[in-house]
Amino acid sequence: MKLQRKNRLRASALGALVVSGALVLTACGSDDNTKNAGGTAKPSQAAAGDIKCDGAKGKLLASGSSAQKNAVDLWVKNYMAACSGVEVNYKSSSSGEGIVAFNQGTVGFAGSDSALKPEQIEESKKICTGGQGIDLPMVGGPIALGFNVAGVDKLNLDAATVANIFNDKIKKWDDEAIKKLNPGVTLPPTAIQHFHRSEDSGTTENLTKYLKAAAPDAWPHEAAKKWAAPGGLGASGSSGVATQVKQVDGAIGYFELSYASSQSIKTVDLNTGAAAPVPATGENASKAIAAAKISGTGSDLALKLDYTTKAEGAYPIVLVTYEVVCDKGNKAETLPTVKSFLNYTASDAGQKVLLENGYAPIPTEINAKVREVIASLS
């Protein structure tokens, strides 16, 4: 990857994010303005002066969650433009693959859409000498349900109906359950083709946590990274699922909002029990993430999300992508770059990139703790 010239554009300040006395996320629109005509990422507005290289050097390898790929692409461009001689290489695969790579010691950090499990933390102690792997929440946003049904521009679904679609119980778009939720909409008898992630995925785990919590009778499977429901077709990564939905009439799938925005894929509004169905937007996801509580201990900042919220305008199918690092025992040759790069991603300028790319920033109160932990990494 070639080094870019430094941006001279001035970064605008990220305002305080306050809701009901808690510091929370601001809204980000669903329009994707981060791509040039050829599909490549535009440079961010972050100024080079916002990035502190702090002794970073050489190559930093990282891998994992494809959910944060579009954000990481911009972060890497900005960071490498500012820090001459440094190369950050993030392999977008899946959360499961990222954690495996981290626990094998082949990457400086991993991206995961779900927090480390106890057995993964235990395994990480072999790599993190004198320490262990910890979760640093870095990217927030909604998991959109993208659909492609000829003649249908707007679609409302509730948790039970979504569960029955992905559990292969509802097979036609003019099913009575869907018609009941969409009065006045002409639904065709087109067969439903539902797509899911073919590999272990934190996005899958967050969707199935929602289905298990909000529609337990319709979703008998355990929440997990591995897809367990019958039927449907698998695709690799969020980009693969989005591509299939874009191409196939009658399709529905799940992926991060940025993938829907970049490919102009229509998304489902969720009937949560609030006064009106809730669209998948960064602003609406922020209303759900705002209520998250830190469930990790010590330096681990894993969050507990509420998937059953009925708060007005709160979109409940959300995920938080964590950067997984060692609290202690990081490799000496990559530690300065890990800290420097993550300091940028957690900075005001780095979090602003999320606003520009269809995601939502981490709540300011939590992000302040993330910065403290990054500073303490050793």
pLDDT digits (tens, 9 = 90+) for 190-227: 999 999 999 988 889 999 999 999 999 999 999 998 99
- DSSP, res 328: S
The two structure tokens encoding residue 99: 């954690």
Cα 184 from Cα 193, distance rounded (Å): 23
* Alpha-carbon span 246 to 260, nearest angstrom: 9
* 370: number of Cβ within 10 Å: 23
Q: In whole angstroms, what is the distance from residue 248 CA to residue 34 CA?
A: 25
Q: How confident is the model at residue 23 (pLDDT cuts 50, 70, 90)?
A: very low
Please give the Cα distance from 155 to 159 (Å, whole number): 13
Percent of the chain with pLDDT over 70: 87
Q: At CB < 8 A and 24+ separation, what contacts does 98-103 make?
A: 98/62, 98/63, 98/64, 98/65, 98/324, 99/64, 99/324, 101/63, 101/64, 102/64, 102/127, 102/133, 102/324, 103/127, 103/133
- pTM (predicted TM-score): 0.73
pLDDT at res. 63: 97
Helix (H, G, I), strand (E, B) or coil at 322: strand
Burial 223-239 (b: 16+ CB within 10 A, else e): bebebebeebeebebbb
Nearest CA-CA partner of 171 in 152, 189, 192, 186: 192
